[in-house]
Structure formats: C-alpha cells, structure tokens
C-alpha cells in the first residue's frame, strides 16, 4: 500500500546516506548490495524496456500494419496507441506468468514480489502494467530505485546475474 510517507520521500529527495557500506539501494528491502538479487539500475532497466518496445513495434507491424518507427512519416489515427497496447499486453502476460519480459530476460532482470514467495501475482502484474504504460510513475523513483509502478503493487526489479 502506498501512503503519504512514500510520496513524501520523493518530494523531499533522497535521505542522507551515512556510509557506502551501510546504505545502498535495496537495503531497506532486505536485498543484497550487488550481484544476483540486487536492485537493478536505471540504465539496464531502460535497455530492457527499449528491447520490449522494439518487439512490440514489430508485433504491431505484423498484426495491425502499424509502420515501424522512423520507417515512414508519422500518421494520424492513434497508431502509437496500438504499439502501447501490444506492449502492455505483452508485459502483463509475461510478467504475470514467468516474472520477466523478453527484454528483461535478455539483460538479466526479473520482477519479484516483495511479499511471500517472490512470485508476481496477476493483480500485481496488472497494476504494474497499467502504471508502467502511464509512463510518469516509471520515471519517478525512491531511494531504493523503485518507481511508483513497482512501489504501488509491491514489486521490485532485480538482477538475475
């Protein structure tokens, strides 16, 4: 559950870290500082999302005839929303079943639930996908490196290697 304290941490900026050994992204979540199981950095997550967006663009082109980015001048009619819808469905199905998208798998990431077994539940995957497709929650994150799209459903993206 997201409460006022969570939003306050974003508005106030990062808290002061006392020592590099004591404070790191994911420490408050009980995750290791580096290696498998640690919180994934922004750069590697961005690469994973770009791979997924490229795959969604190719699928939209094949199924719905949506032109690939930069292949033709932009057309009206909401064709970008078709790619977003394919991206959302792809993300929902893959994260909700196996815990990662194709882009996540390629770069060595996995979405995990913070409660219980670590497996992402379908409701968490749905909430995460909706917020991710809204874009803004994905670019606003806390000191543990979790965006609002991860914080609200209680998930975290970790490294697998």
The residue extents of the domains of the chain are 25-30+39-159
Three-class secondary structure of residue 158 per DSSP: strand
Q: What per-residue confidence (pLDDT) applies to 116?
A: 73
d(CA 5, CA 51): 34
d(CA 30, CA 39): 10
| pTM for the full predicted model | 0.79
Distances (CA, A) of 6 to 12, 55, 140, 147, 158: 10, 33, 12, 11, 20
In this structure, are residues 90 and 125 in contact, taking their beta carbons and an 8 Å threshold? no
Element (H, E) at 65: none
pLDDT by 10s per residue, the chain, length 161? 555 555 555 555 555 545 554 688 888 888 899 999 999 988 999 999 999 999 999 999 999 888 776 655 555 556 778 999 999 999 999 999 999 999 999 999 999 999 777 899 999 999 999 999 988 877 888 888 888 899 999 999 999 99
- The set of residues, in sequence order, having a beta carbon less than 8 Å from that of 134 and lying 6+ positions away, is 149
Three-class secondary structure of residue 18 per DSSP: coil
């Amino acid at each position: 559950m997201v409460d006022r304290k969570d939003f306050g941490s974003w508005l106030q900026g990062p808290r002061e870290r006392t020592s590099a050994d004591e404070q790191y992204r994911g420490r408050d979540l009980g995750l290791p500082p580096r290696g498998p199981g640690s919180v994934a950095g922004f750069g590697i997550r961005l690469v994973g999302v770009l791979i997924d967006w490229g795959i969604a663009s190719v699928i939209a082109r094949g199924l719905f005839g949506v032109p690939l980015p930069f292949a033709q001048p932009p057309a009206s009619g909401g064709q970008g929303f078709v790619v977003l819808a394919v991206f959302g469905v792809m993300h929902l199905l893959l994260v909700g079943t196996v815990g990662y998208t194709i882009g996540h798998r390629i770069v060595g990431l996995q979405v995990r639930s913070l409660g219980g077994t670590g497996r992402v539940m379908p409701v968490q995957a749905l909430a995460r996908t909706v917020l991710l497709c809204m874009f803004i929650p994905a670019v606003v994150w806390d000191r543990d490196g979790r965006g609002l799209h991860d914080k609200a459903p209680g998930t975290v993206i970790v490294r697998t290697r």
